[in-house]
Protein backbone atom coordinates (compact mmCIF):
# COMPACT_ATOMS: atom_id res chain seq x y z
CA UNK A 1 0.00 0.00 0.00
CA UNK A 2 2.93 2.40 -0.55
CA UNK A 3 4.30 1.91 2.99
CA UNK A 4 7.83 0.62 3.59
CA UNK A 5 7.62 -2.57 5.59
CA UNK A 6 9.53 -5.80 6.01
CA UNK A 7 7.88 -8.85 7.59
CA UNK A 8 5.51 -6.80 9.74
CA UNK A 9 2.66 -4.36 9.03
CA UNK A 10 -0.76 -3.44 10.42
CA UNK A 11 -4.05 -2.76 8.61
CA UNK A 12 -6.49 -0.51 10.52
CA UNK A 13 -9.40 -0.92 8.11
CA UNK A 14 -8.42 2.06 5.99
CA UNK A 15 -4.66 2.11 5.56
CA UNK A 16 -1.42 0.26 6.26
CA UNK A 17 0.97 1.24 9.04
CA UNK A 18 4.21 -0.32 10.21
CA UNK A 19 6.95 0.10 12.78
CA UNK A 20 7.74 3.81 13.47
CA UNK A 21 10.96 5.50 12.38
CA UNK A 22 13.73 6.66 14.70
CA UNK A 23 15.27 10.02 13.78
CA UNK A 24 13.77 9.63 10.32
CA UNK A 25 15.37 6.22 9.79
CA UNK A 26 13.03 3.27 9.32
CA UNK A 27 13.62 0.48 11.86
CA UNK A 28 12.70 -3.05 10.86
CA UNK A 29 10.65 -4.57 13.72
CA UNK A 30 11.69 -8.21 13.08
CA UNK A 31 15.12 -9.28 11.90
CA UNK A 32 13.71 -12.32 10.06
CA UNK A 33 10.41 -13.65 8.76
CA UNK A 34 7.44 -14.51 11.00
CA UNK A 35 5.49 -17.69 10.27
CA UNK A 36 2.30 -17.43 12.32
CA UNK A 37 0.34 -14.89 14.36
CA UNK A 38 -2.56 -15.11 16.80
CA UNK A 39 -4.39 -12.58 18.99
CA UNK A 40 -4.95 -13.38 22.65
CA UNK A 41 -6.24 -11.02 25.36
CA UNK A 42 -5.54 -7.91 23.31
CA UNK A 43 -1.96 -8.82 22.36
CA UNK A 44 -0.52 -10.16 19.13
CA UNK A 45 1.69 -13.25 19.47
CA UNK A 46 4.17 -13.81 16.64
CA UNK A 47 6.28 -16.88 15.88
CA UNK A 48 8.89 -17.40 13.20
CA UNK A 49 12.54 -17.38 12.21
CA UNK A 50 13.53 -14.12 13.93
CA UNK A 51 15.52 -13.73 17.14
CA UNK A 52 14.91 -10.04 17.69
CA UNK A 53 11.68 -8.00 17.78
CA UNK A 54 12.11 -4.25 17.98
CA UNK A 55 14.90 -3.72 20.48
CA UNK A 56 14.05 -6.92 22.40
CA UNK A 57 15.88 -10.24 22.20
CA UNK A 58 13.09 -12.66 21.35
CA UNK A 59 14.00 -16.11 20.07
CA UNK A 60 11.40 -17.16 17.50
CA UNK A 61 8.39 -15.90 19.46
CA UNK A 62 7.30 -12.49 20.76
CA UNK A 63 4.29 -10.57 22.04
CA UNK A 64 3.24 -7.20 20.63
CA UNK A 65 0.76 -5.01 22.58
CA UNK A 66 0.30 -2.43 19.81
CA UNK A 67 3.21 -0.30 20.99
CA UNK A 68 6.04 -2.50 22.24
CA UNK A 69 7.46 -6.00 21.76
CA UNK A 70 8.03 -8.36 24.68
CA UNK A 71 9.98 -11.59 24.98
CA UNK A 72 8.28 -14.74 26.25
CA UNK A 73 10.32 -16.38 28.97
CA UNK A 74 13.35 -15.59 31.06
CA UNK A 75 16.88 -15.02 29.82
CA UNK A 76 18.96 -16.50 28.33
CA UNK A 77 16.27 -18.33 26.33
CA UNK A 78 13.67 -15.58 25.83
CA UNK A 79 11.58 -18.03 23.87
CA UNK A 80 13.15 -20.95 22.04
CA UNK A 81 16.91 -21.33 21.95
CA UNK A 82 17.66 -25.08 22.14
CA UNK A 83 18.38 -26.47 18.67
CA UNK A 84 16.86 -27.74 16.50
CA UNK A 85 14.47 -24.80 16.42
CA UNK A 86 11.55 -23.89 14.19
CA UNK A 87 8.26 -22.34 15.30
CA UNK A 88 5.70 -23.46 12.72
CA UNK A 89 2.36 -22.55 14.31
CA UNK A 90 0.64 -20.65 17.09
CA UNK A 91 -2.88 -21.14 18.45
CA UNK A 92 -4.82 -19.95 21.46
CA UNK A 93 -7.20 -21.59 23.93
CA UNK A 94 -8.79 -20.60 27.23
CA UNK A 95 -5.67 -21.45 29.22
CA UNK A 96 -3.10 -19.66 27.08
CA UNK A 97 -1.14 -19.53 23.83
CA UNK A 98 0.05 -22.80 22.28
CA UNK A 99 3.20 -22.85 20.16
CA UNK A 100 4.24 -25.78 17.98
CA UNK A 101 7.10 -26.62 15.69
CA UNK A 102 10.50 -28.27 15.80
CA UNK A 103 12.01 -27.71 19.27
CA UNK A 104 12.82 -29.52 22.51
CA UNK A 105 12.52 -26.66 25.01
CA UNK A 106 10.57 -23.44 25.57
CA UNK A 107 12.41 -20.98 27.79
CA UNK A 108 13.79 -23.11 30.61
CA UNK A 109 11.05 -25.74 30.24
CA UNK A 110 11.66 -28.98 28.36
CA UNK A 111 8.85 -29.27 25.82
CA UNK A 112 8.73 -31.71 22.93
CA UNK A 113 7.41 -29.94 19.80
CA UNK A 114 4.55 -28.15 21.60
CA UNK A 115 4.39 -25.79 24.59
CA UNK A 116 1.87 -23.51 26.31
CA UNK A 117 2.46 -19.92 27.42
CA UNK A 118 0.11 -18.96 30.29
CA UNK A 119 1.00 -15.27 30.25
CA UNK A 120 3.89 -15.67 32.68
CA UNK A 121 5.56 -19.05 32.20
CA UNK A 122 6.07 -21.82 29.68
CA UNK A 123 4.32 -25.13 30.39
CA UNK A 124 4.53 -28.61 28.94
CA UNK A 125 1.59 -30.10 27.04
CA UNK A 126 1.64 -33.61 28.41
CA UNK A 127 4.78 -35.26 27.05
CA UNK A 128 4.41 -33.51 23.71
CA UNK A 129 4.48 -35.43 20.44
CA UNK A 130 6.62 -38.42 19.45
CA UNK A 131 7.47 -40.37 16.34
CA UNK A 132 11.05 -39.93 15.25
CA UNK A 133 13.98 -37.56 15.37
CA UNK A 134 14.43 -34.22 13.70
CA UNK A 135 11.70 -33.14 11.31
CA UNK A 136 10.12 -36.63 11.41
CA UNK A 137 8.44 -35.43 14.62
CA UNK A 138 7.06 -31.95 14.16
CA UNK A 139 3.90 -29.96 15.02
CA UNK A 140 2.64 -27.98 12.01
CA UNK A 141 -0.85 -26.79 12.95
CA UNK A 142 -2.71 -25.79 16.12
CA UNK A 143 -6.36 -24.80 16.48
CA UNK A 144 -8.04 -24.02 19.79
CA UNK A 145 -11.71 -23.96 20.80
CA UNK A 146 -12.51 -23.22 24.43
CA UNK A 147 -10.34 -25.56 26.50
CA UNK A 148 -9.78 -27.95 23.57
CA UNK A 149 -6.68 -27.83 21.39
CA UNK A 150 -6.40 -29.71 18.09
CA UNK A 151 -2.88 -30.45 16.91
CA UNK A 152 -1.68 -31.61 13.50
CA UNK A 153 1.74 -32.39 12.07
CA UNK A 154 4.17 -35.25 11.59
CA UNK A 155 4.00 -37.55 14.60
CA UNK A 156 2.79 -41.00 15.56
CA UNK A 157 2.24 -40.65 19.28
CA UNK A 158 1.15 -38.28 22.07
CA UNK A 159 1.90 -39.46 25.60
CA UNK A 160 1.27 -43.21 25.58
CA UNK A 161 -1.38 -42.96 22.82
CA UNK A 162 -0.75 -43.98 19.21
CA UNK A 163 -2.07 -41.45 16.71
CA UNK A 164 -1.66 -40.63 13.04
CA UNK A 165 -0.51 -37.01 12.61
CA UNK A 166 -3.46 -35.47 14.47
CA UNK A 167 -4.47 -35.41 18.13
CA UNK A 168 -6.71 -33.66 20.63
CA UNK A 169 -5.57 -32.06 23.92
CA UNK A 170 -8.43 -31.28 26.36
CA UNK A 171 -6.37 -29.17 28.75
CA UNK A 172 -5.25 -32.14 30.84
CA UNK A 173 -5.02 -35.25 28.63
CA UNK A 174 -4.25 -36.33 25.08
CA UNK A 175 -6.87 -38.15 23.00
CA UNK A 176 -7.01 -39.78 19.63
CA UNK A 177 -8.88 -37.33 17.46
CA UNK A 178 -11.70 -39.65 16.34
CA UNK A 179 -12.00 -41.23 19.82
CA UNK A 180 -12.75 -37.91 21.46
CA UNK A 181 -15.27 -37.01 18.77
CA UNK A 182 -17.08 -40.33 19.19
CA UNK A 183 -17.20 -39.80 22.96
CA UNK A 184 -18.72 -36.34 22.51
CA UNK A 185 -21.16 -37.66 19.88
CA UNK A 186 -22.27 -40.46 22.22
CA UNK A 187 -22.91 -37.94 24.98
CA UNK A 188 -24.97 -35.80 22.61
CA UNK A 189 -27.06 -38.82 21.60
CA UNK A 190 -27.74 -39.70 25.24
CA UNK A 191 -28.75 -36.11 25.95
CA UNK A 192 -31.10 -36.10 22.97
CA UNK A 193 -32.66 -39.37 24.09
CA UNK A 194 -33.23 -38.00 27.58
CA UNK A 195 -34.77 -34.83 26.17
CA UNK A 196 -36.97 -36.94 23.92
CA UNK A 197 -38.31 -38.84 26.92
CA UNK A 198 -39.58 -35.68 28.63
CA UNK A 199 -42.59 -35.09 26.32
CA UNK A 200 -43.31 -38.84 26.41
CA UNK A 201 -43.52 -38.79 30.22
CA UNK A 202 -45.66 -35.66 30.28
CA UNK A 203 -48.10 -37.09 27.72
CA UNK A 204 -48.37 -40.28 29.79
CA UNK A 205 -49.29 -38.21 32.87
CA UNK A 206 -51.97 -36.36 30.89
CA UNK A 207 -53.49 -39.62 29.71
CA UNK A 208 -53.59 -41.00 33.27
CA UNK A 209 -55.25 -37.82 34.54
CA UNK A 210 -57.88 -37.97 31.79
CA UNK A 211 -58.62 -41.61 32.60
CA UNK A 212 -59.08 -40.82 36.29
CA UNK A 213 -61.34 -37.88 35.50
CA UNK A 214 -63.41 -40.03 33.13
CA UNK A 215 -63.63 -42.78 35.78
CA UNK A 216 -64.90 -40.24 38.33
CA UNK A 217 -67.64 -39.08 35.96
CA UNK A 218 -68.81 -42.65 35.37
CA UNK A 219 -68.92 -43.30 39.12
CA UNK A 220 -71.04 -40.18 39.71
CA UNK A 221 -73.48 -41.15 36.94
CA UNK A 222 -73.79 -44.66 38.39
CA UNK A 223 -74.55 -43.26 41.88
CA UNK A 224 -77.16 -40.90 40.44
CA UNK A 225 -78.94 -43.78 38.68
CA UNK A 226 -78.99 -45.82 41.90
CA UNK A 227 -80.46 -42.96 43.91
CA UNK A 228 -83.18 -42.43 41.30
CA UNK A 229 -83.91 -46.15 41.30
CA UNK A 230 -84.33 -46.12 45.10
CA UNK A 231 -86.77 -43.24 44.85
CA UNK A 232 -84.54 -40.62 46.44
CA UNK A 233 -85.68 -38.00 43.90
CA UNK A 234 -89.42 -38.79 44.16
CA UNK A 235 -91.93 -36.39 45.84
CA UNK A 236 -89.21 -34.10 47.26
CA UNK A 237 -86.42 -31.91 46.13
CA UNK A 238 -83.09 -33.72 46.13
CA UNK A 239 -80.47 -32.72 48.65
CA UNK A 240 -77.98 -30.14 47.33
CA UNK A 241 -75.12 -32.65 47.74
CA UNK A 242 -77.00 -35.00 45.45
CA UNK A 243 -77.61 -32.20 42.96
CA UNK A 244 -73.87 -31.78 42.56
CA UNK A 245 -73.55 -35.38 41.34
Does the pLDDT value for residue 212 go beyond 60? Answer: yes
pTM of the model: 0.68
Where is pLDDT greater, at 63 or 75? 63
Q: How confident is the model at residue 184 (pLDDT cuts 50, 70, 90)?
A: very low
CA angle 106, 110, 116 (to 5 degrees): 50
201 Cβ contact partners less than 8 Å away, ≥ 6 residues apart: none
Least trusted range by pLDDT, from 8-12, 141-145, 147-151, 193-197: 193-197
Q: How confident is the model at residue 27 (pLDDT cuts 50, 70, 90)?
A: low
Cα 88 to the center of its chain, rounded Å:
21
Amino acid sequence: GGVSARSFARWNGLSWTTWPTTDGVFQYPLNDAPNRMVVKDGSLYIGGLFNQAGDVLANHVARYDGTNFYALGAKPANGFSSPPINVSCIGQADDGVYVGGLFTAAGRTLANRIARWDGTNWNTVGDGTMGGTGSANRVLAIAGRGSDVFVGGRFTGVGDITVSNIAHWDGANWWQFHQRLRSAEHGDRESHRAMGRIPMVSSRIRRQWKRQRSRGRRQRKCLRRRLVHLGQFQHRKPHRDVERL
